[in-house]
Structure 1
Amino acid sequence: MAHPAQIKVPAAYIRGGTSKGVFFRLQDLPEAAQAPGPARDALLLRVIGSPDPYGKHTDGMGGATSSTSKTVILSTSTRPDHDVDYLFGQVSIDKAFVDWSGNCGNLSSAVGPFAISGGLVDASRIPQDGVATVRIWQANIGKTIIAHVPITNGAVQETGDFELDGVTFPAAEVQLEFMDPAAEEDGAGGAMFPTGKLIDELQVPGVGTLKATMINAGIPTIFINAQDVGYTGTELQDDINSDPKALAMFETIRAHGAVRMGLIANIDEAAQRQHTPKVAFVAKPAAYVSSSGKQIAADSIDLLVRALSMGKLHHAMMGTAAVAIGTAAAIPGTLVNLAAGGGERKAVCFGHPSGTLRVGAQASQQDGEWVVTKAIMSRSARVLMEGWVRVPADAF
């Protein structure tokens, strides 16, 4: 019996921040996958190795975690004052599903470098030595990201001494500016606080009524107090991920928060929107030992934050959630701001399972409404492998 041969698709496997993903240029995808739809989703699922009932991604490029089951498609931008269009697909591990509802802030740090190396940025915008400014259109959420990419001898510099907790080795620093991060095009009605309140009462069956800050900034996020769900904020991955009841509780909170935020019409739709919103719990500073054994002193951080992604506690912090943290921290009266001590803040350093991260945001009130013009943080990126990824020709 004849079987179709595998095809080769040009791609790169890249670490961006604390995530990894398979990067494609739109023009390199098979013609059937160059447009959104079932063929594209089927191709990306096969590339990653999903759905995998074994939860290992043995037969694909995925790493069987939310941080490593990611895909990116880039193309030269047709939008004014932008260099590249960036589309992010979060691939489900155990379901035949690609979630296009949000951005990946970590992989955003690799977009500029890949776009430059892939010839998607006009050569006149790339210095021989210095920093290239790449203007990125984040197509999932309709937002602009500015990436500052170090350049040496006309090429992207990937090595350096910038250390990022959650990443094993140092690399070159890539500074990111998330412009106007309060989401407007993600179906949440355009409000930074879709419920109209900085702190809301969220009724969750089987859990109770929780104080919650629900914000659209970077990515839709539901913040709750750690102590309200029986935690301290110093938890590491296994403390949550080894507890099925805890994971089920957080998913219930996420589903009901998504309804309140206007992201879905009813909780049954939450299963088809796994990437957004995120759920995070916050607490005041406390000392703890990170997953790498690093001692984190209470006086070295402003607050503690733990966040879940795709149903599991994240090993560090999602970049987009960090934007939400920085934004919420800059607005007096949110749960994030109160956990950090309250008052006006331009930046916070928060503790996560792998260590600490600093993020800043510029917030102001205009006509009685809070407006955030940009959030700023640093990440790093490194190409791990490049060439072609192979998939069976009948896979999509």
Structure 2
Amino acid sequence: MESRLQILLVEDDEDDAFLIQDLMRELSIRPTPKIYHAPDGDAALTEITARHFDICIFDFRLGQQNGIDLLKEVRNLGCEAPIIFLTGQGDQETAVQAMKSGATDYLVKNDLSPETLFQSIRHATKLKKEEDLRKRAENDLRISHEELKHAHAELKQSLDKLQNAQDHIIRSEKLASVGRLAAGVCHEILNPLNIISGHIQALSLEREGDAPLQDDIRSIMEEIQRIEVIIAGLLKFSRKDEMVLKIGDINHEIESVLTLTAKEMAHQGITLNCRLSAELPEIKFDPNRMRQVFLNLVNNARHAMEKGGTLTVVTRMVKEVEEGGQHTMQPVDLDSGGEPGRNCFLQIRFQDTGPGIQKENIDKLFEPFFTTKPEEQGTGLGLSICYSIIEKHQGNLEVESEYGKGATFIIELPCNLSPGQSTPTSPGKQSGASS
């Protein structure tokens, strides 16, 4: 024990007091405790008022006064020192009275020794230290909790205001930027595309008997038509056109895109790992726009894996749950009889084994014109258009990536239709991914 203990001994028998003080001088406590003796309760209260004590040792019987009554008076004065009672008899009733009154310990005078006294004092000081630490920690925790609640309320209010303003600004800037591009560039793209289409159609008429060539021409014309659809979607990007929503199977649209790109992926050495849940509900979506999103994400994965790799495509049902103040998505096991309902979403994941995305680029991915590709290979519009399409479906598009370990693009669409239903049964998610 580093500091010198101050002990108050309250004992009305002079012989017992002398004996107990003599025993305490033999204690193996360094530095040696300083002992104050009070012959009665009044003297004890005077001493406690005058100075701090680490331990109080009270005789259980103090003439006309009871040691328990003295303990109550001591506590009323604000003294929190541990109290050890001394008793002339070691019966159980006395022990129970002592401990119920709030004493730390009680000792029988006839059994006193330096060892028993040392053990009792050490036990009392240990309990007091633990109690002080607990009270200090609880007080600090209470203060911190109140401060944190106040700060959290202010921060949440500020963040809500900032987020609303930021979302409005970002969305406005995106639409304005893409609108300017659409007005100035899309018609320039359509002109040469129409010329190409005309030459292809002329070639088809000239070489009607060439079956292999006709197959290639059909493939080219399909791609031309797809480009026209994409351009038309780009032109509509900044306008509030109504989507053509149909009830359908999202897996079917994914499979059609994967079939279309299968040859290119095989040629690049890309292995396709496709895990599409057969238990998904049908939902309302725009098939053309959704295929545009899927194709863009597949092509991004292909560009990220120029030397081969694995593209994993997964569909499943997830449910939004709150844990510790955080909202997370957890899988819904439809095979075990679970049913999609409120806060359920259809999740689509495109995971590649490419180089991943650098941390500083994550938040910029969905901004118009941002691209990590060479200028001649990309306009930086693909992901911003994907984001807009998913947002118009009241869904969410986000990316998870650790540089050097690939990237995963995650789409979450509101599950507002159960299989066979034709009307929405639960509301969709209203917020999109932050960019």
**Do both proteins adopt the same fold according to a TM-score greater than 0.5, normalized to the shorter chain?**
no
Shorter-chain TM-score range: under 0.3
TM-score by length of 2: 0.24
- Structure exhibiting the larger radius of gyration computed from Cα positions: 2
- The structure richer in helix per residue is 2
Q: What's the TM-score, normalizing by structure 1?
A: 0.26
Whichever structure has more strand as a proportion of its residues is: 1
Between 1 and 2, higher relative CO (CA 8 Å, sep ≥ 6) is seen in 1
